[in-house]
Structure 1
Amino acid sequence: MGSSRSKPAAMPHDGSAHFYKLKEDITCSICLHELKDPVSITCGHTFCKPCISSYWDALQPFGHRCPECRKVCPKDQLIPAYRLQQLVCNVQLAVKEEQSKQVPAHAVQLVHTDASCRMWLDESAVDRCFLDSEISDYPLCLICVIGEKRRGKSSLLNYILRALHSLETGQPVSLGEDEEPLKGFDWRSGTDSLTKGIWLWSRPFILEKNGEKMAVFVLDTEGSMDIESDRETCIKLSALSMLLSSYLVCDFHLKTTELDYLEMYLYVSELTGESFSLQYLQHLNILVRDWHNPDNCGHEAAKSYIEHETERMRKNATYRRVLQTLRSPSVSAFLLPHPGKAFLRSSQGKLTDMDDDFRSHLTTYVSDLVGGLWLYRKTDVHGERITCGHLGRMLKDFVGTLQRENFSFDSPMEMFYALENDKNMKNTLKKFQDFVDTEAPITSSPLKIVRVTTSKMRIVVTEEASHLLQEFEQRLQGSEDAARQKLMDEMKTRLDQEVERFCTEYSKRFTKCAVGLGCAVGGGILSLAGGIVGAAVAGTLLATEAAILTGAVGGSLTFGAIGTGVGAGVGGVIGRKEKIKDQAMDSTCNGNGATSEDTQQLVPE
């Protein structure tokens, strides 16, 4: 482990140079990336199959030449290089390992909030840590610690990092060497906060059990339960902590201020879990630091403490969620004694600076925590395990939603409304896409396409978009008129864009089908007149809903080719002219049906 201030290590000896030279050797000279689906051509050079195919699809006046040696090679003799493909995969893994050695694992700021409470996400960190192809399909466990600032959260997590490192390397759980300075998440004694947001250890720990692998992430927070922070920051960060964590450590005493924040946190957790279909509060651990009686600490003492506090809370209806949660089996607790004055004065966090009783209890606490992580793999509301990639995408959605929301969240419910409205918007767009896929499937035959002109299709999809917009408005949550109107404007804009995108694509499909069928008709007539008839068919199909194709396809393949060519040429010209007319009509269409241009017969005179 290294601290966030560590400099990258030097590249070790000649090994890395050989790796990178080998990486150059497995690079496609066309796309300049690692070979993908590699194939060899007859001259012996190797390229990505899509690259060489596209390269040779272009006009080759002197035959299909090798991009490297320029030798003419048969286009249809592409020999798959299976062993080379495996070598590419092995080299990619090896290079990744070498790169990971260059920069020691360190804390990265995953999320921060600015002065206006706007939340920002380091998406590159999400891509590296959660969406990397090597681990994106792994189940995961996330350890997150929240609590008041300067209560030792970061130093606790650094000891957890040491324990996870020992597990990952197959060693017994250890908190490190006695004289080893504490490194990892930045920390120091004092009252000033360092973290500011949510920090993530840059490399997950990969644990393996019974042939199954799991990625374990460690997160440090500041501000989710900070009495000096504004309420909106607390709400956002506490909600995000729930979204991320599967093992959540609340580092505080169950006193009035902490209970107020815990009640709010649990409320936010419930609402956020509902929005993202996540299991509500997988595991909550109450860690009480600096317990006054060092002879009465640990798990059992914590149970008595929790029972005492829940009995006291029964008389206070304010903490209904806290009371219900503390009685559930998804909660554990631990009492830790004071670490000792020597440890507080130290700036290195050595184990030898701790009081013996604190060190003993800390070792028990951390060992029990990391030893039971397989029980706390991240799951959804159905108990299905969530993967690293799944969580990374949800994280982007969550922060993206809050970034688009320009209104403040004075309560957890307002944030919940924002999340639900965003979900409603995505569902509405999906409904529109499902509708157009039904109206004009990509597999539709030309005969089906030409039965509905672009102008009539535009009317159909515009009416559906209007209907969906009304449904969206009815499902909007929240009472602020300004916020509702902003969402309605955004939804209308996005639906209008989808309508325009679909109609543009449909117009291209319609024109292509009309010209193609015109060619077919023209090709079925044994004279130049076939070109005129083909053009007439193409033009008519572009202008009318009627299908006039019965008996039109067929005829001589020899003389019909003349008609096909002329029909395609003339029909294409007419098609382009008709498309311009159709677009002009669309811009003035009032939704009452097709204009007279839709029924004109365009037979050249």
Structure 2
Amino acid sequence: MGGSSSKQPSMPREGAASFHKLEEDITCSVCLSELTDPVSITCGHTFCRNCIVSYWATPQIWGYRCPECRKVCPRDQLIPVHRLKNLVTNVQLVVREEQAKKETPPCAIPLVYTDSRGQLQTDEAAVQSCFLSSDVSNCPVVLICMIGEKRRGKSFLLNYILRALSCQERDEPISLGGEDEPLSGFEWRAGTESITKGIWIWNKPFVLERNGEKMAVFVLDTEGSLDIESSRDISIKLSALSMILSSYLIFNVNSSLKTTELDYLEMYLYVAELAGKSFDLQYLQHLDILIRDWHDSLNCQRGDAQSYINRETENLRKASRYPFVLDTLRSPSVGCCLLPHPGKRLLGDSQGSLSDMDEDFKNHLGNYITDLVRGIWRHVKTDIHGEKVTCAQLEGKLKEFVGLLQKEQYSFASPLEMFFTFENRKNMSSVKREFLNHLDNLAPASSSPFKILGVTPSKMKGRTSEAAAHFLAVYEESIKGDDSQGRQLLMEEMESILREAEDKFNDEYSKRFKKCAIGIGCAIGGGVLSLAGGVVGAAVAGTVLAAEAVALVGSTTAAVITGAVGGTVTLGAIGTGVGAGVGAGVGGAIANRKTEAEQQTTEEGGDGSGTDSQQLVAPKK
């Protein structure tokens, strides 16, 4: 795995044979493909749901037979096999991973990039393939990320980190490779033209193990987060993403911390704090300030680097210009390294080998990378509560974050504006969640059929409409920022979300109401009148539904009359004396319920379609 150039370990031959036998066992005998939405029929055989439904779509003289054993089985008894469905998914994932190992060696792939319009886009497939692989999804994650000005040797340095991590993964002494070994990994070359655009990730993590615990280490390269040629909007987005991703951040600068670097670093730190709060991730767990081309090659030791940071801290304290940078430089989570110039031989057509470096640069580079890799266990990604973040959990955070970055209407002129956007989106999700909970409370799953029949779909629609208006108003009050156009877009999106949820609930409630009516009718018919009563039960259901149909056009009184009269006359005609008694009883009960509801509504001065204000609870902010 990782950056190792050695052949990837593959599945043992015996295991592979058993595994492919398992693939055959999860194949549908109808479509001859892997089972999709598997269901079991009464004989015990399993098929894709669509396959067996299609197979039985044509009526058969001798009944519906199993495609395998030919046993007659009930058509309506399809039992979902959830464990088998999960097994199929896992098998597919392992097969894809095995194929990927054989087909492609480890390489750098784009995670975030700028498209032809200059907009940031994220590759969701890359995110999933890196962080949801079966062998690392539950592992704690470490992310080494480097930001800084373009063409200052970031990719060059990261490729040597890849070599060191590869040694660590193989449990070998840390090495930067052979003296004449060409440098490979992230694309790099000498010169002034940048190679990397956006954020790239080494697509195979280095899986390290210590004391029985595993962790996955990823390496990321960036370009554009500190680029005066890029828009400020893109710089803010890239820096925010780098901060959220990294647990070990390297800030790569040339010669010294100049005003440009301090300006950007101040912005990075502000962005990191705001973004970390929005996504519940610990920001800036560790920061290395890496000074390249240090002017004094004889004084590049750790003590010299600390003295340099102390001087910069004192200068910032006197200037009072960069409060975030000042507080950060005082933190024990910040380190500094001074690297001298690598030598003229690396500036031409060099392949980046160790033999082309000046000796002092090579020694300091080796010391820096060795210290970094040996201490990597201290830099596992954590959330704001100090809990370790797994690869799968990070993927979820990324999915949420990059979803915002992909929306073209979001252009951030400042870190605070970006923070407002994150908070507004978070509140939108919170309001939607509270609204759905409120809808569930209006008609809980435990409600009795008679309770359901006591609230017609038309009344329920009035209640949900009022609730949606209430929650929309709650969201409007929570919106942060002064952008009126952005506020309008957010309100329109929130209104659309609430309306969609409301329509779905009302549609399901209407079906539930009718099902309850039919169920009660069938229960009475089956329990009291046997075969003849089945017809009577259908009439009871029909009476209730007829009443509801009239209620939907606005006449509750007419519905009551229909229920009472229809229940007596219709059932009396079909079910003789007993049917008439049942019909009169059910029709009268419905009439009484509706009359009581109307009286209560009249006393309260309403029409019965409103929602008790105490039922509307504002979501927690």
Give the whole-Å Cα distance in 1 for the aligned partners of 2:39 and 2:508: 35
Aligned partners of 1:134 and 1:61: how far apart in 2?
Answer: 51
**Pairing 1:101-112 to 2, within 5 Å after superposition:** 101-112=102-113
CA pair 333-317 structure 1, distance change in 2 beyond 3 A? same
Change (3 A) 1:212 1:407: closer
* TM-score between the two structures when normalised by the length of structure 2: 0.79
Aligned to 2:359: 356
| SS of equivalent residue, structure 2 residue 383 | coil
User: 1:301 aligns to what?
Assistant: 304
Against the structure 1 CA distance between its residues 133 and 466, is the aligned structure 2 distance closer, same or farther, given a 3 Å change threshold?
farther
1:535 equivalent to 2:516? Answer no
**Counterpart Cα distance in 1 of 2:72 and 2:292:** 74
The match for 2:290 is 287
Counterpart of 1:530 in structure 2: which amino acid? V
93-102 or 119-128, which moves further after superposition? 93-102
8 Å contact from structure 1 (residues 23, 91) kept in 2: no
User: Cα–Cα, structure 1 residues 92 and 500, in superposed 2: closer, same or farther, change >3 Å?
Assistant: closer
| C-alpha deviation, 1:512, in angstroms | 0.8
Report the count of equivalent residues: 555
Q: Distance in 2 between matches of 1:216 and 1:106?
A: 15
In the TM superposition, residue 47 of structure 1 has moved relative to its aligned partner by 4.5
Which segment drifts farther, 326-335 or 345-354? 345-354
Alignment-mate amino acid for residue 161 of structure 1: L
Residue in 2 that maps onto 1:240:
241
Shift of 1:245: 0.7
CA 1:65–1:368: 2 relative to 1, 3 Å? farther
Deviation at residue 229 of structure 1 after TM alignment: 1.8
Kindly state the Cα deviation for residue 441 of structure 1 after the two structures are TM-superposed: 2.2
The answer to whether the 8 A contact 1:520-1:534 is kept is no
1:408 equivalent in structure 2: 411
Quick check: 2:148–2:251 contact (8 Å CA) kept in 1? yes
Could you tell which deviates more after superposition, 15-24 or 323-332?
15-24
SS across alignment from 1:167: helix
Structure 2 CA distance for aligned equivalents of residues 511 and 38 of structure 1: 30
Shift of 1:298: 3.4
Q: CA deviation at 1:391?
A: 1.3
Question: Which residue does 1:25 correspond to in 2?
Answer: 24
Which string of whole-angstrom CA distances, capped at 9 and with x for unpartnered residues, describes residues 378-409 of structure 1?
11110111111121122121121233351431
Match of 1:131 in 2: 132
Contact 2:158 2:219 in 1 (8 A): yes
**1:215 aligns to what?**
216
When residues 91 and 462 of structure 1 are mapped into structure 2, their CA distance, relative to the original with a 3 A threshold, is: closer
- Look up the match of 2:150: 149
Return the alpha-carbon distance in structure 2 between the equivalents of residues 125 and 87 of structure 1. Answer: 22
CA distance in 1, matches of 2:466, 2:97: 52
In 1, Cα distance between the equivalents of 2:49 and 2:133?
24
Residue 503 of structure 1 aligns with an amino acid whose one-letter code is N
Residue 95 of structure 1 and its aligned partner are, at CA, apart by: 6.5
Query: In the aligned structure 2, how far is the partner of 1:219 from the partner of 1:139?
Result: 17
Change (3 A) 1:328 1:120: same
Distance 1:382 1:86, change over 3 A: closer
Q: Secondary structure at the match of 1:462?
A: helix
Q: By how many angstroms is 1:55 displaced?
A: 8.3
Letter in 2 for 1:476: I
Structure 1 counterpart of 2:385:
382
CA distance in 1, matches of 2:148, 2:32: 49
Alignment partner of 1:404: what SS? coil
Q: Give how far 1:563 is off.
A: 9.6
Alignment RMSD, CA only? 4.1
Bigger mean CA offset, 396-405 vs 296-305: 396-405
Q: Matched residues in 2 for 1:419 and 1:524: separation? A: 58
How far 1:33 moved relative to its partner?
5.0
Q: 1:261 aligns with which of 257, 260, 264?
A: 264
**How far 1:299 sits from its partner (Å)?**
2.4
Distance of 1:344 and 1:196 partners within structure 2: 22
- Does residue 250 of structure 2 align to residue 249 of structure 1? yes
Per the alignment, do residues 563 and 177 of structure 1 end up closer, same or farther by CA in structure 2, a change over 3 Å counting?
Answer: farther
Q: CA deviation at 1:295?
A: 1.8
Q: 1:249/1:2 Cα in 2 relative to 1: closer, same or farther (>3 Å)?
A: closer
Determine the structure 2 residue equivalent to 1:202: 203
Amino acid at match of 1:368: D
SS at match of 2:385: coil
Q: Which residue of 1 aligns with 2:526?
A: 523
Q: Does 1:335 align with 2:341?
A: no
CA drift of 1:275 comes to 0.8
Looking at structure 2, the residues matched to 115 and 56 of structure 1 have their Cα atoms a distance apart, in angstroms, of 49
Aligned to 2:430: 427
Structure-2 separation of matches of 1:22 and 1:331: 53
* Cα distance in 1, alignment partners of residues 454 and 90 from structure 2: 50
Shift of 1:592: 5.3
User: Residue type of the partner of 1:28?
Assistant: T
Distance 1:33 1:297, change over 3 A: farther
Q: Secondary structure at the residue paired with 1:318? A: coil
CA distance in 1, matches of 2:364, 2:578: 92
Q: Which deviates the most, 100-109 or 397-406?
A: 397-406
**CA contact 2:350–2:356 (8 Å) conserved in 1:** no
Per-residue deviation, residues 337-374 of structure 1 (Å, max 9, x unmatched): 11111122243111111112111111111111121121
Specify the SS of the correspondent of 1:272: helix
Judge conservation of contact 1:523–1:563 (CA < 8 Å) in 2.
Answer: no
SS at match of 2:318: coil
How far off is 1:140 after superposition? Answer: 0.4
Give the superposition deviation at 1:238: 0.3
Write the distance in 1 (CA, Å) between the matches of 2:260 and 2:166.
Answer: 35
SS at match of 1:251: strand
C-alpha separation in 1, matches of 2:404 and 2:96? 36
CA offset at residue 60 of structure 1?
Answer: 6.3
Q: In the TM superposition, what is the alpha-carbon distance from 1:98 to its structure 2 partner?
A: 4.8
Calculate percent identity across the aligned residue pairs: 51
Letter in 1 for 2:185: G
Counterpart check, 1:140 vs 2:141: yes
In 1: Cα distance, 2:279 partner to 2:440 partner: 27
User: Structure 1 residues 333, 594: closer, same or farther in 2, change over 3 A?
Assistant: closer
Distance 1:213 1:494, change over 3 A: same
Unpaired segments of 5 or more residues in structure 1? 553-558, 572-590, 596-605
Give the conservation status (yes or no) of the 8 Å contact 1:39–1:48: yes
- Whole-angstrom distance in 1 between the partners of 2:31 and 2:137: 26
From the superposition, tell whether residues 428 and 37 of structure 1 become closer, same or farther in structure 2 (CA, over 3 Å).
Answer: closer
Deviations for 1:67-100, whole angstroms, at most 9, x for unmatched residues? Answer: 35x5438889x9x9x99x9999789747633531
Q: How does 1:152-171 map to 2 (within 5 A)?
A: 152-171=153-172
Displacement of 1:462 after TM fit? 1.0
For residues 18 and 212 of structure 2, what CA distance do their matches in structure 1 show?
A: 29
User: CA contact under 8 A between 1:20 and 1:95: conserved in structure 2?
Assistant: no
Between stretches 457-466 and 513-522, larger displacement belongs to: 513-522
**Counterpart amino acid of residue 536 in structure 2:** G
C-alpha offsets along residues 463-494 of structure 1, whole Å, 9 cap, x if unaligned? Answer: 11111111111111111111111111111122
Query: What residue in structure 2 maps to residue 485 of structure 1?
Result: 488
Which digits, 9 at most, give the CA deviation of each residue in 1:127-165, with x for residues without a partner?
111123442222101110000001000011111111111
Q: Aligned-pair distance for 1:533?
A: 4.3
Deviation at 1:186, TM superposition (A): 0.4
What is the rounded CA distance, in whole Å, between the counterparts of 2:233 and 2:440 in structure 1? Answer: 41
Q: How does 1:8-47 map to 2 (within 5 A)?
A: 22=21, 25-29=24-28, 30=30, 32-34=32-34, 47=46
Q: CA deviation at 1:65?
A: 4.3
CA distance in 1: counterparts of 2:91 and 2:117, whole angstroms: 47
**Offset at residue 228 of structure 1 (A):** 2.3
SS across alignment from 1:536:
helix
Q: Aligned equivalents of 1:465 and 1:444: distance in 2?
A: 22
Q: Which deviations, in whole Å up to 9, do the C-alpha atoms of 1:150-184 show, x marking residues without a partner?
A: 10000111111111111112222221222211111
Aligned partners of 2:289 and 2:148: how far apart in 1?
10
- Equivalent-residue separation in structure 1 for 2:578 and 2:389 (angstroms): 61
